[in-house]
Amino acid sequence: MPSSKIIAHVDMDSFFVSCERLVDPSLVGKPVVVGGRRGERGVVASASYESRKFGVKSGMPIMTAEKLCPKAIFVPGNHKLYSKYSRKIYVLLRRIAPVVEYASIDEFYLDFTGCEALYGHDLEAMAKRVKESIFDRAKLSCSVAIATNKYVAKIAGKTVKPSSGSLTGTIVVPEGTEQTFLTNLSVERLHGAGEKTLPRLKEMRIQKIGDILNIPLTTLQKSFGPSAGSWLYEAARGMGSNEVHPFHFAKSVGHETTFEKDTDDAWQIHQTLAWLSEKGCYRLRRIGKKARTVTLKLRYDDFQTLTKAVTIPETNDDTVVMKTAYALFEEAHNRRRKIRLLGVSLSKFENGEGEDWLFPEMSSKKKDDLYQSVDAIKRKYGFHKLEKAASLDPREDKQAEKFGASSFQKPKIK
Ligand SMILES: [Mg+2]
């Protein structure tokens, strides 16, 4: 038995644009921007490679994209269509690999460990076969990268995108070569290195991932903080999770957080509930569900724990869930003790396992558009990029002092 795993990362090429082109072939070869019509206030959800040449990127305002690429064709976005194709690809991948993780609407991880004999021990051929199968059945192109863990596979996939000039769209990083593979890549390729880490790396004149190898762990931790420092140390060495989590239809989504210091600060409590509610709703929208039950979990500093639930009309609206969570808290909180932990979970989903399981029809078109734009940014840049004012990290917010909450610590999600 090999000790390492065989993980494939499948990432669709400019997915939304490709789906639009299947429906309207006149868009093929043209600069296409999905996310909103000309003059609208939305953000770019997906841009074709033709428009990316002009600097158009996901997450940027439509109006900026218009300026950069005046000839672009702007398409509002049809999530029902994208989820239909996403499901089609998922179902197809399930036939190819024993374990498939649904990472996002256009990204999947496959675990081929133990299937070597089936594919003749030729990983290159295996990658090509996955790519060709998707193209044959769904007429959509993608990158397929095989490595021993998800992290290296994801980074490798980006290096074989059409925008990188790759003709194959497939790559294999054999076991034992992870570090060598990363060495000459720019630190910008480090998936997960955010807006704080990259500028700091630049300041330290670290341009290539391999440059990080020369820096001792303790120095990295001093410069970037304990967790980001050890993350960088491992990332540069091509270490990462090799656990592929099979997709299943969740019965509930929820998050809880333990305060770094037990608290009775009303403002901090409300911030946290808002943040937990947003996080839950974001996940609901990702899986195309609305919930009918909101459950609050509260743990006092003496570890007494209680939960309180309420059933409401189905929703995945941040504001509705936030208000409900506040109300539940007001009801549940009846002791003069500090609070150690808070949790918000959402269950009793509507919309069964239908065709449109990713983005079901929502009642308010306007709200839907807003959430699509917001979620596109959240997907692209991570959850913290866009949060409602009610759950802004007060350390970055002058109001915090006004409320005397300077000791607020961003809740850590478990
Ligand atoms: Mg993609």
Query: Which range has the worst mean pLDDT, 31-40, 220-229, 326-335, 373-382?
Result: 373-382
269: CA distance to ligand 1 center in Å?
Answer: 37
- What is the pLDDT, as a whole number, of residue 413? 39
Please list the residue range(s) of the chain that carry CATH number 3.30.70.270. 1-173
Its pTM stands at: 0.64
- DSSP string covering 106-129, please? TEEEEE-TT-GGGGTT-HHHHHHH
pLDDT at residue 245 greater than cutoff 80: yes
Tokens of 371: 């959430």
State the Rg of the chain over Cα. Answer: 23
Mean of the pLDDT values across residues 369-374? 64
Tokens of 259: 């305060």
How many C-beta atoms lie closer than 10 Å to residue 261's C-beta?
12
Q: How far is CA 410 from the centre of its chain?
A: 19
Q: What are phi and psi of 363, to 5 degrees?
A: -65, -45
Residue 237, C-beta contacts closer than 8 angstroms, at least 6 positions apart:
178, 179, 182, 213
34: CA distance to ligand 1 center in Å?
Answer: 13
107: CA distance to ligand 1 center in Å?
Answer: 6
- DSSP string covering 137-175, please? HH---EEEEEESSHHHHHHHHHTTSGGGT-SS-EEE--T
Per-residue confidence band for 403, with pLDDT thresholds at 50, 70 and 90: very low
- What is the pLDDT, as a whole number, of residue 181? 97
Catalytic residues: 107
Q: Beta-strand (E) ranges in 264-386?
A: 290-300, 305-315, 339-350
Round the average pLDDT of the chain to a whole number and report it.
84
User: What is the CATH number assigned to the segment(s) 252-402?
Assistant: 3.30.1490.100
What percentage of the chain carries pLDDT values higher than 70?
83
Provide the CATH topology of domain 180-236: DNA polymerase; domain 1 (1.10.150)
369: CA distance to ligand 1 center in Å?
Answer: 20
pLDDT tens digits, 80-115: 899 889 989 998 998 889 899 988 889 999 999 988
pLDDT tens digits, 112-136: 998 877 777 899 999 999 999 999 9
330, 367 contact by CB (below 8 A) = no
Mean of the pLDDT values across residues 161-178? 91
348: CA distance to ligand 1 center in Å?
Answer: 31
* Whole-angstrom distance, CA of residue 273 vs CA of residue 279: 10
The residue ranking higher by pLDDT, 362 or 385, is: 385
pLDDT tens digits, 272-286: 999 999 999 988 887
Asked if the 1-173 domain carries CATH number 3.30.70.270, the reply is yes
- DSSP string covering 364-396, please? -HHHHHHHHHHHHHHHHH-GGGS--GGG--GGG
Please list the residue range(s) of the chain that carry CATH number 3.30.1490.100. 252-402
Please list the residue range(s) of the chain that carry CATH number 1.10.150.20. 180-236
* Whole-angstrom distance, CA of residue 382 vs CA of residue 130: 28
